[in-house]
Amino acid sequence: MKKWGFLLLSCLGLTFAYMGPLSEPEVKIQNFDQFQNGIAEGADIQEIEISEDQIYQGDLLLVNSEYPVHQDSIRSDIVNLSASNELAQGYVLLGSDIYLSEDIAHAFSEMVSAAKKDALQHFAITSGFRDFDEQSVLYQDMGSDYALPAGYSEHNLGLSLDVGSTQMKMANAPEGKWIEKNAWKYGFILRYPENKKDITGIEYEPWHIRYVGFPHSAIMKSKNFVLEEYMEYLKEEKNISANVNGKQYEISYYPVTKSTTIQVPADLRYEISGNNVDGVIVTVFPDKHT
């Protein structure tokens, strides 16, 4: 039996986590030696091989003007929400051809359902997945402050969507304020917040949300990180143990060459996501495999 204590992701499914009335996550973070400490100390481990193409797959991909979308990065479960009445529940679609990852659509529906309990029910999706041609036209129309060239936009992944209110501009709408406070509970982040243009390169967009998964959304919310900052933070720390609202998660960064072998728990659930740069992030959850 080997000891371990660390890790992260294999993209076997999305993680939704409703946290009740909390508006801010309770996060405590410690560094740890992945071979000595951690929630699974003494547990069985298994070795798995990570190939280079896994750098470009998963929910934590960093896409911006420096790191473009790879063909393998595009979600395979893209659906037309306008043709999927069972998915488009609790919000309206401002357009006849709005596409999105089916999994992300389910996560968004769960979030909108929770917002309805707070008497917010005027959500709309104005844009979701875009192919490169559509992104190119938008970039020409909007310019570099509010759009990115084709292949350099998160909308080309299927993980991002633009959310509006049918009542007023999102910057002033109660729906916008609710999302900014609560999206982290469902694995979403506000991708381009205020006062972060020097890092993201994009002006404040209160309508643009991105799925990264839980607990990453909670950690980013707690530390006021945008995705660029969070990826750099994980790369510097390498291994962190995050207690999020009383549950312990182990998160580790691994640089990946052509072929890299890593250790993961045999009995705990984990996910693996590339960072779209140079490695993968492994997240170990506190619950057992199901």
User: How far is Cα 244 from Cα 99, in angstroms, rounded to an integer?
Assistant: 32
Pick the CATH number of 1-60+213-290 from 3.40.30.10, 3.40.190.80, 3.40.1260.20, 3.30.200.180: 3.30.200.180
pTM over 0.75: yes
Q: Look up tokens 């990264």; give the residue.
A: 212
Strand partners, 23: none
User: How far is Cα 158 from Cα 104, in angstroms, rounded to an integer?
Assistant: 8
pLDDT at 18: 46
Active site residues: 205
User: How far is Cα 7 from Cα 262, in angstroms, rounded to an integer?
Assistant: 9
Instruction: Give me 95's structure tokens.
Output: 């357009």
CB 42 within 8 A of CB 48: no
Nearest-CA neighbor of 274 among 1, 4, 6, 9? 9
Q: Look up tokens 């510097």; give the residue.
A: 236
Q: Look up tokens 């084709």; give the residue.
A: 150
Per-residue pLDDT of the chain (290 residues; tens, 9 = 90+): 222 332 333 333 454 454 445 668 888 888 776 544 444 456 688 999 999 999 999 999 999 999 999 989 999 999 999 887 778 888 999 887 899 999 999 999 999 999 999 999 999 999 999 888 878 887 888 877 777 787 889 999 999 999 999 999 999 999 999 999 999 999 999 999 999 999 999 999 999 999 999 999 999 999 999 999 999 999 999 999 999 999 999 999 999 988 899 989 988 999 999 999 999 999 999 987 65
In this structure, the dihedral spanned by the alpha carbons of residues 276, 226, 203 and 140, taken in order and rounded to 10 degrees, is 10
| CATH architecture classification, 73-211 | 2-Layer Sandwich (3.30)
* Domain layout of the chain by residue ranges: 1-60+213-290, 73-211
Instruction: Give me 218's structure tokens.
Output: 């909670």
Q: What is the per-residue DSSP string for the chain?
A: -----------SS------TT-SS--EEEEE--TTT-STTTT--EEEEEEEGGGGG-SS----SSSSPPPGGGS-TTEEEGGG-TTTS-SSEESSS--EEEHHHHHHHHHHHHHHHHTT---EEEEE-B--HHHHHHHHHHH-TTT---TTSSGGGTTSEEEEEESSS-TTTSHHHHHHHHHGGGGTEEEEE-TT-HHHHSS--EEEEEEE--TTHHHHHHHHT--HHHHHHHHHHH-EEEEEETTEEEEEEEEE--SEEEEEEESSEEEEEEE-SSSEEEEEEEEEEP-
Chain centre distance of CA 71: 18
